[in-house]
């Protein structure tokens, strides 16, 4: 065997051993890459340049801004107003509050861009609210956690920013392409919630009166137009996705300080600290995962795995099913950003070989990784939901199974009907 094959195998072995030993993912990626490159003597002087090159990209500035915007809008209680309005509109439909949960998560996804942040923002209101209405606590926590995964599919999405940076795909096109698939996932979750609610006898509330709906709409309007300002500015050519992230921060501050008056200067310092910590974690993963990806390319791992995958089958539909299975298993073990940096270097030659649209592929991959946020053992959304509901991970993991199945059904539609992802960007941007 050549040095490249031996070194490549060693790279992957060290990484998975560290993951098994519960070493943080970012550290596992960095240590595995640096260890093997140091042992082989292949370009150790490149560590620092590659580390900084991975985070010194203008597009990545969108990540800390979107994180900060999500934290600000969550603390400003914008979600409360949206929940109240949607509740009045859904009315006495069986599982009404469950349906409200999914619809609100779809709206909030257009503000937050982060699954765990959406669970935190909505769960503290909706989980106790559903329990008070007679829903089982595990059902409520599982539904909030599952629907919050839509946040990385419906734009603006931190996941799409990372995918666009790695592949060179247009982030604006990815944002547009995520709208219809995000709605499709939401509809499948609504169907699952409705059927379970029907079987268990979960009742809806009442329709609001015209006056109540009008007053609730006026109260919620500032939250409802946030996505229109952010996304409209991008698609209208007024600002880039990165600039839109900065605009969303100032918009959230304006609404929190001057419209709802739910923010204070003391809150601002806490918000900055909270978002800085979250941003630092993401950027550390980005930088060290970038070194790992560079090491895989340098050691020839990328080329060999890509060639093996292409030789595996000439049927692209079979290969798509295999890849989706790989994404699903990866999502159970790793976070989305790490998976992008780990797998995309290998997948880019495969995409080129089959002529797959990188925008559609990015949507498909991201939907799959959104499911990973509710599939243990990693399941970041479930951890937040279980913590809010004060239930065990075993309990919430069982309750989330119907929503995982519903999400997989939506994923298969998105996988085998590419037009669901490509039609809207082709209409709006070409």
The string of DSSP letters for 200-267 reads HT-----PPPHHHHHHHHHHHHHHHHHHHHHHHHHHTTSS-HHHHHHHHHHHHHHIIIIIS----HHH
CB-based contact 127:140 (threshold 8 Å): yes
Report residue 109's pLDDT band, with 50, 70 and 90 as the boundaries. Answer: confident
Higher pLDDT, 2 or 17: 17
Of the candidates 70, 198, 184, 218, which has an alpha carbon nearest to the alpha carbon of residue 139? 198
CB-based contact 151:105 (threshold 8 Å): yes
The confidence score (pLDDT) of residue 391 equals 92
The confidence score (pLDDT) of residue 6 equals 66
Question: Which residues, 6+ apart, have CB-to-CB distance to 12 below 8 Å?
Answer: 32, 301
CB-based contact 65:242 (threshold 8 Å): yes
Cα dihedral 106, 109, 115, 116 in deg (nearest 10): -100
pLDDT (tens digit per residue) in 348-375: 989 998 999 999 999 999 999 999 889 9
Asked if residue 17 has pLDDT above 80, the reply is: yes
Of the candidates 194, 182, 216, 47, which has an alpha carbon nearest to the alpha carbon of residue 135? 194
pLDDT (tens digit per residue) in 213-249: 999 999 889 888 888 888 788 777 788 888 888 888 8
CB atoms within 10 A of CB 308: 10
What DSSP line would sit under 278-325, residue for residue? HHHHHHHHHHHHHHHHHHHHHTTHHHHHHHHHHHH-S-HHHHHHHHHH
CB-based contact 111:81 (threshold 8 Å): no
Question: Which residues, 6+ apart, have CB-to-CB distance to 346 below 8 Å?
Answer: 296, 301, 302, 305, 306, 309
Rounded Cα–Cα distance for residues 23 and 13 (Å): 14
3-state secondary structure of 179: helix
Rounded Cα–Cα distance for residues 282 and 273 (Å): 14
Asked if residue 3 has pLDDT above 60, the reply is: no
Radius of gyration for the chain, computed over Cα atoms and rounded to the nearest angstrom: 22
Q: Does pTM surpass 0.75?
A: yes
CB-based contact 288:336 (threshold 8 Å): no
What range defines the domain where residue 82 resides?
3-429
Report residue 43's pLDDT band, with 50, 70 and 90 as the boundaries. Answer: low
The confidence score (pLDDT) of residue 4 equals 42
Query: Do you find a cis peptide bond into 201, omega within 30 degrees of 0?
Result: no
Rounded Cα–Cα distance for residues 215 and 33 (Å): 57
Asked if residue 62 has pLDDT above 70, the reply is: yes
CB atoms within 10 A of CB 322: 14
The confidence score (pLDDT) of residue 415 equals 96
What DSSP line would sit under 359-413, residue for residue? HHHHHHHHHHHHHHTTSTTT-HHHHHHHHHHT--HHHHHHHTHHHHHHHHHHHHH
Residue count (the chain) = 430
Number of domains present in the structure of the chain: 1
CB-based contact 127:235 (threshold 8 Å): no
Asked if residue 2 has pLDDT above 60, the reply is: no
Higher pLDDT, 340 or 281: 340
CB-based contact 244:181 (threshold 8 Å): no
Rounded Cα–Cα distance for residues 396 and 139 (Å): 8
CB-based contact 305:253 (threshold 8 Å): no
CB atoms within 10 A of CB 312: 12
The confidence score (pLDDT) of residue 362 equals 95
Dmax (CA) for the chain in angstroms is 76
Tokens representing 370 are 């959104």
Rounded Cα–Cα distance for residues 342 and 334 (Å): 10
Tokens representing 71 are 């934290």
pLDDT (tens digit per residue) in 281-335: 888 888 888 888 788 877 777 777 777 777 877 889 999 999 999 899 888 877 7
The confidence score (pLDDT) of residue 1 equals 38
CB-based contact 157:414 (threshold 8 Å): no
Report residue 430's pLDDT band, with 50, 70 and 90 as the boundaries. Answer: low
Q: Report residue 136 CA to chain centroid gap.
A: 26
pLDDT (tens digit per residue) in 253-286: 998 898 888 888 888 888 889 888 888 888 888 8
Asked if residue 8 has pLDDT above 80, the reply is: no
């Amino acid at each position: 065997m050549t040095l490249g094959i031996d070194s490549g195998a060693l790279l992957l072995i060290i990484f998975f051993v560290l993951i098994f030993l519960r070493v943080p993912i970012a550290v596992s990626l960095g240590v595995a890459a640096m260890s093997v490159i140091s042992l082989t003597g292949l370009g150790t002087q490149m560590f620092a340049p590659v580390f900084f090159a991975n985070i010194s990209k203008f597009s990545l500035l969108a990540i800390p801004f979107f994180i900060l915007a999500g934290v600000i809008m969550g603390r400003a209680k914008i979600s409360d107003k949206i929940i109240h309005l949607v509740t009045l509109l859904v009315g006495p439909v069986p599982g009404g509050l469950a349906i409200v949960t999914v619809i609100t998560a779809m709206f909030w996804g257009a503000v937050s861009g982060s699954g765990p942040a959406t669970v935190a923002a909505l769960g503290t209101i909706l989980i106790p609210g559903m329990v008070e209405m007679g829903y089982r606590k595990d059902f409520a926590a599982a539904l909030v956690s599952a629907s919050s995964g839509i946040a990385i599919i419906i734009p603006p999405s931190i996941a799409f920013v990372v995918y666009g940076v790695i592949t060179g795909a247009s982030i604006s096109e990815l944002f547009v392409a995520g709208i219809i698939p995000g709605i499709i996932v939401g509809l499948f979750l609504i169907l699952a919630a409705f059927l379970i609610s029907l079987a268990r006898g979960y009742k809806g509330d009442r329709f609001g009166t015209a006056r109540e709906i009008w007053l609730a709409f006026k109260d919620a309007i500032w939250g409802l137009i946030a996505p229109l300002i952010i996304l409209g500015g991008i698609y209208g050519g007024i600002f880039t996705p990165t600039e839109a992230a900065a605009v969303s921060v100032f918009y959230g501050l304006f609404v929190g300080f001057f419209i709802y008056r739910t923010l204070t200067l003391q809150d601002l310092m806490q918000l900055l600290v909270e978002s800085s910590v979250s941003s630092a974690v993401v950027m550390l993963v980005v930088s060290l995962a970038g070194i790992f990806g560079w090491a895989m390319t340098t050691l020839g791992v990328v080329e060999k795995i890509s060639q093996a995958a292409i030789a595996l089958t000439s049927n692209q539909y079979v290969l798509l099913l295999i890849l989706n299975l790989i994404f699903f298993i990866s999502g159970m073990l790793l976070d989305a950003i790490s998976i992008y940096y780990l797998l995309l270097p290998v997948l880019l030659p495969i995409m080129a070989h089959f002529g797959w649209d990188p925008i559609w592929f990015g949507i498909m991959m991201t939907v799959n990784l959104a499911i990973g946020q509710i599939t243990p053992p990693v399941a970041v959304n479930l951890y937040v939901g279980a913590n809010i509901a004060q239930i065990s991970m075993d309990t919430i993991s069982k309750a989330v199974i119907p929503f995982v199945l519903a999400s997989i059904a939506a994923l298969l539609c998105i996988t085998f009907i590419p037009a669901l992802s490509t039609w809207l960007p082709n209409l709006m941007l070409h």
